[in-house]
Amino acid sequence: MFQKYQHIERYGTDETENINLGLCYVFPKIDGTNSSIYMNGHELTAGSRTRELSLENDNANFYSTILKDERFIDFFREFENYRLFGEWLVPHSLKTYRDEAWRKFYIFDVINEKEEYLKYEDYKIILEKYNVDYIPCLAKIENGSYEQFIALLEKNNFLIKDGQGIGEGIVIKNYDFVNRFGRKTWAKIVTSEFKEKHIKEMGATYIIGKKIIEECIIEKYLTSVLIEKTYEKIKLEKGWSSKQIPELLNRIFYEFINEEIWDIIKTEKNPKIDFKMLNIFLVKKIKEIKKEIFF
């Protein structure tokens, strides 16, 4: 049965408060498409981030590729009730990965027959037994600080071409952590969002008195990462033409509300938001960032 992977929350929000207390495992975050593999009865099955795949309704040829990979067939002969979550590395917003890194499945989590996450050391051993690719741990930190996490983010060049900067970000896992809402979750720090945040802290104008709240929210929370990633997903799924522009605008608005609304409500202290106006400013920013597709 298909199981959607948990949402990874931003570091520093209510959802991830105190995740740094205890033993933290820090991993590279790579920019592919979230995927999973599991057994459905006696059949090897795959999923995308939101649905079960089939050969007729695949996702960037992930399922058709996995079905022919003997490593996974052998793995599930021994661990038929396990579930593998990972990133199928196909082009999205980050294009600086090494040529040989593309179109591979990199495992980042393994769930056992009890629906429990295996710790890194435990799943690393069994994945290596079958020569399955996985995302390595950058470091283990006891009671980590924000500064320590940023230092790791700035050194993260996993799969990146030499001299082409750093990766998409990092993911922080504390296997013993449950947040204040009773949910097990991981935290993320995304490179571009980190840079944008610091640019704003050094002189950006987030002034409610001069701009209406909807404009300020879009400026502060809508990132170029979300815009580019959504564009690349549509391009990968269907190819790109101007006919996809309405879908692009709608999907970005949906993802923006889905991912950001809780942070907006908490951080901005329950603002009164006109969502029609919010959408107007969202479309305006998309046109500024992706101006080449509107001509």
Pair (112, 169) in one structural domain: no
Pair (143, 237) in one structural domain: no
Q: Which of 121, 156, 191 is the last residue of a domain?
A: 191
pLDDT of the residue at 116: 95
Pair (57, 6) in one structural domain: no
Pair (150, 68) in one structural domain: no
**Type of residue at 130:** Y
Rounded to the nearest 5 percent, the helix, strand and coil shares of the chain are 40, 20, 40
Q: How far apart are the first and last CA of the chain?
A: 44
* C-alpha–C-alpha distance, residues 13 and 46, integer Å: 32
The two tokens of residue 103 are 């179109």
Cβ contact 97:159 at 8 Å: yes
Cβ contact 200:206 at 8 Å: yes
User: What order do you get walking across the sheet with 187-190 strand by strand?
Assistant: 9-10, 187-190, 169-173, 23-29, 139-142
Cβ contact 293:242 at 8 Å: yes
Residue 7, CB half-sphere, CA atoms under 13 Å: how many? 10
Residue 263 CB neighbours (<10 A): 17
Residue 284 CB neighbours (<10 A): 11
pLDDT tens by residue, the chain, 295 residues:
899 999 899 898 889 999 999 999 999 999 999 999 999 988 999 999 989 999 999 999 999 999 999 999 999 999 999 999 999 999 888 889 999 999 999 999 999 999 999 999 999 999 999 999 999 999 999 999 988 999 999 999 999 999 898 999 999 999 999 999 999 999 999 887 665 555 454 443 333 445 788 888 998 899 998 999 899 989 888 889 989 999 999 999 999 999 899 989 988 888 889 898 899 899 999 999 999 998 6
pLDDT of the residue at 194: 62
The verdict on residue 79 lying in a domain is yes
The verdict on residue 200 lying in a domain is no
Nearest to 135 by CA among 10, 9, 11, 30: 30
Residue identified by tokens 């950058």 is 138
pLDDT of the residue at 195: 59
The verdict on residue 24 lying in a domain is yes
Count of domains observed in the chain: 3
Q: Which of 134, 165, 183 is the last residue of a domain?
A: 134
Q: Which of 134, 161, 178 is the last residue of a domain?
A: 134
**Total-model pTM:** 0.73
Pair (113, 251) in one structural domain: no
The two tokens of residue 133 are 């690719």
Q: What are phi and psi of 9, to 5 degrees?
A: -90, 155
Pair (40, 128) in one structural domain: yes
Q: Where are the beta strands (DSSP E) in the chain?
A: 9-10, 23-29, 33-40, 43-47, 83-88, 105-111, 139-142, 169-173, 187-190
Pair (290, 212) in one structural domain: yes
The verdict on residue 241 lying in a domain is yes
What CATH number does the domain containing 124 carry? 3.30.470.30
The verdict on residue 199 lying in a domain is no
Nearest to 207 by CA among 220, 196, 190, 193: 220
pLDDT of the residue at 198: 52
Pair (22, 85) in one structural domain: no
Residue 227 CB neighbours (<10 A): 21
Q: Which domain holds residue 100?
A: 31-134
Long-range contacts of residues 43-48, Cβ cutoff 8 Å, at least 24 apart:
44/72, 44/73, 44/76, 45/2, 47/2, 47/3, 47/4
The verdict on residue 281 lying in a domain is yes
